[in-house]
Chains A and B, each alone.
Chain A
Amino acid sequence: MALLSLEKVSVAYENQYILQNFDLSVEKGQLISLLGPSGCGKTTTLRLIAGFLEAKEGKFLLNGKDYTRIPVNKRNFGFVFQNYALFPHLSVYDNVAFGLRLRKVKEPEIRQRVTKVLDAVSLAGFEQRFPKALSGGQRQRVAIARALVIEPDLLLFDEPLSNLDANLRVSMRVEIRRIQQELGITTIYVSHDQEECFSISDRVAIMNKGIIEQLDRPAAIFKYPKTEFVARFIGFNNFIDFEQRSDSGDEIELKAKDRIFRAVRHPGMSGANGRKGAIRPDDIVVGTPEEIEAGVGCLTGRVKVSTFLGRSYQYVVETELGSFTANKEMESPFLSGQEVRLFFPREKLVLVE
């Protein structure tokens, strides 16, 4: 039984649906990320759960209780904002104590809980500072402490690291994951940064145009994207539309313009019933026609563009099945217009819907 579930939820803004018949369920203690390009509905979903937006249709259940019409201030969820939203007129201590004072907690207990949570986010000794006198990372930790101290039933993050510089982002996400796991608090995390989501989440939901394209463990998504959108989003830049497929056991044989390709059916391959092949630029083997023998899984074409990427060269190769992008580490690159052969290894070719 899921701790949190959204059932057939719709949200509209000025008569335009942002979410429609949206479903989501989250297990207790998990950290789940909503990942997608801007405008995909991830922030809307988070704000709906927080209570900042009201669902037009559908239900939001938490622990079996209907939260759909419960106002924000009665929900007891911790929300961490992209811009931190610290109260500029209050000290770090008073910022963190804000939620406890509203709950009429006694002052000695407030002191004890604030001290403990500031300790947990490594900000002991900063109690009397004002937000203005803190660095970005410190502000973010105050925001997290403020959300944690009320012992929330859910912790919600809205792109919490996007205003920090790259190094700090990495250490903060480790920190967020550590705190989340230590407290075992169910967390929903919104970001447009793949690496960030993949590194800290138990499960990732890839969203597009108000629907979840795929919800799975990070490694599963990374290896076996379910749909073309997900594949494209996580870097499978090459697609082949197959006209025929025939399955025999775990082997799938595919045909496009009489060229034969093979793929392996893997239990985790969620889009395996599709007819579209996807492969990463790093996984295509590229070589001269002498180096690679023609056969199953091969395609001949001409180099159109060659780009130096540092470690490797990237080629755009024009073939009869369209153009493909392939990377290869080599000393002297292929020239523009040169004939090359591409090989699509069967264990790397993934089928998507």
Chain B
Amino acid sequence: MKKKVLVLLLPGLLFLTAFMLVPIVITVGSTFVHDGAFTLEGYMHFFGDTFFLKILFTTLEVSLVTTLMCIVLGFPVAYYISRRGRRQKSLLLALAIFPLLTSSVVRSFSWMIILGKKGLLNNALIALGLIKEPMDILYTPAAMMIGLVHLFLPLIIITLVGVMENIDPDLIKAAESLGASRFSAFRKVIVPLSVPGLIIGSILVFVGSLTAYTTPALLGGKQKVISTFLYQNAITLNDWYSASVIATIMMAITFAVIAIMNKIANTLNPKG
């Protein structure tokens, strides 16, 4: 029995080893070797470079703000969806997932039309007399955040709905019968019980934003993030060593974020 299971695991395992584990090890390993000797030079170079640090900082900032905005926007929507009947729920979830089904290139171009200097948003604001001069939104970190929130909101909604629909509706009633207002029942019961979904959703959004390429490339303009910087090093400058170092840094940040989030989850939800 046990041997059979192992045999079944083998194809997938081989595939992952050959095409994921080995390339990663080679890429990461290569960053510590220069002219046949161990070195940290690549890393020292980047962390001593203010240009790179600024890109790193912008990337983290964009990812963090995107995650927070997804939480703030997604939480009430997810709660609403989780309290609907089965048919309505499936319909609403399908609608929520819809952005994920469109190509990120098409989606980003739509945002360019909306956010540009002569785009829909600026025109509308000027027509309403709210602003005199068109605002610079496109090709700024703000544009990236908008595009990324649009892209990743479905992820946090899906994960939150999954957790929230398992919260017994009687808990809200119990809290209310004990004197809680709707809002404080929500804050003291629904929010803490949604933490597991919130953590998973946040990891997905944060890591997704950190590694996203198309959206920041199209909406960010000259403003670089790590992923576009990596692309530039590898493809435009053909500097594969620097690209590997950047890739390793990205990976390290990703793992660090997951570790921190898990730590937070354990403090907030000790029994989980």
Which listed segment binds B: A21-29, A98-106, A324-332? A98-106
**Interchain CB contact under 8 A, B179 and A76:** yes
Do the beta carbons of B271 and A130 come within 8 Å of each other?
yes
Interface residues of A in 68-101 (CB under 8 A from B): 71-79, 81, 83, 85-89, 98-99
- Contact of B192 (CB < 8 Å), options: A77, A85, A89: A89
Q: How does the 8 Å CB contact mask read for B168-196 relative to A, with 1 for contact and 0 for none? A: 10110111111111001000110011000
Question: What's the nearest-Cβ distance from chain B to residue A109, in Å?
Answer: 16
B166 → chain A, closest Cβ, in Å?
10
Given A85-B168, A89-B192, A102 and B174 contact (CB-CB distance below 8 Å): no
Q: How many residues of B contact A (CB 8 A)?
A: 19
- Contact residues in A for B168 (Cβ distance below 8 Å): 83, 85
The docked-state distance in angstroms from the alpha carbon of A78 to that of B175 is 11
What's the least CB distance linking A45 to chain B, in Å? 16
The contact of B178 among A51, A71, A83, A99, by CB within 8 Å, is A99
Q: What is the CA–CA distance of A78 and B179 in the complex, to the nearest angstrom?
A: 10
**Do B189 and A87 touch (CB < 8 A)?**
yes
- Chain A's nearest CB lies how many Å from the CB of B199? 14
A-side contacts of B17, CB under 8 Å:
none
Chain B residues, Cβ within 8 Å of A42: none
Chain B: CB-nearest residue to A81: B170
In the assembled complex, B90 has its CB within 8 A of some CB on chain A: no
| Complex alpha-carbon distance, A243 and B182, angstroms | 59
Q: Give the residues from 202 to 260 in chain B that come closer than 8 angstroms, CB to CB, to chain A.
A: none
Q: Are A150 and B178 in contact (CB under 8 A)?
A: yes
Q: Decide yes or no whether B269 CB sits under 8 A from chain A.
A: yes
Partner of A83, one of B170, B176, B189, B271: B170
Which residue of chain B lies nearest to A104 when distances are taken between CB atoms in the complex? Answer: B179
Q: Is the CB of B171 within 8 A of A87?
A: yes
Q: Are A102's CB and B180's CB within 8 A?
A: yes
CA distance A98 to B269 in the complex (A): 18
Residues in A with CB closer than 8 Å to B192 are: 89
The answer to whether A146 touches B178, judged by C-beta atoms less than 8 angstroms apart, is yes
A77, A85, A103, A146, most chain B CB atoms within 10 A: A85
- Assembled-state Cα–Cα distance A86/B167 (Å): 11
A72 touches B177 (CB 8 A): yes
Q: A132 at the A/B interface (Cβ < 8 Å)?
A: yes
Task: List, in ascending order, chain A residues with CB within 8 A of B175's CB.
Answer: 87, 98
Q: Does A50 contact B (CB under 8 A)?
A: yes
B174 & A79 in contact (Cβ 8 Å cutoff): yes
B83 CB → nearest A CB, Å? 15
Q: Are B178 and A89 in contact (CB under 8 A)?
A: no
Asked whether A52 is an interface residue with its Cβ less than 8 Å from the other chain, the reply is: yes
Contacts A89-B193, A89-B269, A130-B271: A72 and B176 contacting too (C-beta < 8 A)?
Answer: yes
Inter-subunit contact A87/B180 (CB<8 Å): no
Q: How far is the CA of A72 from the CA of B181 in the complex (A)?
A: 9
- Whether A85 contacts B176 by the Cβ 8 Å rule is no
Are the C-beta atoms of B174 and A150 separated by less than 8 Å?
A: no
Q: How far is the CB of B69 from chain A (nearest CB, A)?
A: 26
Determine if A103 and B174 form an interchain contact, defined as CB atoms under 8 angstroms apart.
Answer: no
Whole-angstrom distance between the Cβ of B87 and the nearest chain A Cβ: 16
Q: How far is the CA of A317 from the CA of B265 in the complex (A)?
A: 69
When C-beta atoms are compared, the residue in chain A nearest to B195 turns out to be A89
Are A102 and B173 interface neighbours, CB within 8 A? no
Q: Separation in Å of the A155 CB from the closest CB of chain B?
A: 11
29 contacts between A and B (CB under 8 A): A50-B173, A51-B176, A73-B176, A73-B178, A73-B180, A78-B177, A79-B173, A79-B177, A81-B170, A81-B174, A85-B168, A85-B170, A85-B171, A85-B173, A85-B174, A87-B171, A87-B189, A88-B193, A89-B192, A89-B193, A89-B271, A98-B180, A99-B179, A102-B178, A102-B179, A130-B271, A146-B174, A147-B177, A150-B178
Given contacts A50-B173, A51-B176, A102-B180, 13 further A-B contacts (CB under 8 A): A51-B177, A72-B173, A73-B178, A79-B174, A81-B170, A85-B173, A89-B189, A89-B192, A89-B193, A89-B269, A98-B175, A150-B178, A150-B179
